[in-house]
Amino acid sequence: MGSNPTRPTLFLKLEIKQLFGGFIRIKVVPLGNVPDSILDRVKNALNSAFKMFVEIQRPERLPKYAYNPIRNQYRSDLLLDFLAKHFKGRVLGITNEDLYVEGLNFVFGQAQLNVRVAIVAFARLNPTFFHQPEDQELLEKRVEKEVIHEIGHVLGLRHCETKGCVMNFSNTVFDVDKKTKFFCKNGRAKLGD
């Protein structure tokens, strides 16, 4: 039997329509110390981009087993496993720690397509990481884009090459700055907008 190319899009639209009180429900879990201003920006971004009902959870300690002292980084895949094991439903972890996945020097975040868990790390999104002057607004804008990007993956979206789309792959912080916080026309269609 041949594959049905419209099925993934239809499935995604049906998944999005399974809303709780008109909203998709998601838990945001601070891993370590995350400022309230960042959590507020994350909550507003998720509500605005996806009409999500956001539940900010109490902060969790990062599991020691996910830390690599040689790299001074946490493995994002192990943090995703931790979140999946300890929380039900859709979950976004947010941390100020530096993350990596095997084969990459670092990641701003990680999620798998159509899986319920994602994580965003804002250590490298902070201008001070690169010895630049502190700029809270720039940091929060970058966090907002990466949160929307990773939850886009959770909802089934792949990387996009349309200029400015929030689903553009970001290899550097400059790539984050070039994209917008909005989905392109194709991404919006897949999300049912």
- The whole-angstrom separation of Cα 33 and Cα 49 is 25
Question: Considering Cα of 69, then 81, then 39, then 114, what sign does the dihedral take?
Answer: positive
- 46 contacts 40 by C-beta, under 8 angstroms: no
Instruction: Show the 3-state SS of 79-106.
Output: HHHHHHHHCCCCEEEEECCCEECCCCCC
137 is catalytic: no
- 121 contacts 95 by C-beta, under 8 angstroms: yes
Nearest to residue 51, comparing CAs of 12, 28, 25? 25
Write down the catalytic residue from 140, 144, 146, 150: 150
Active site residues: 150
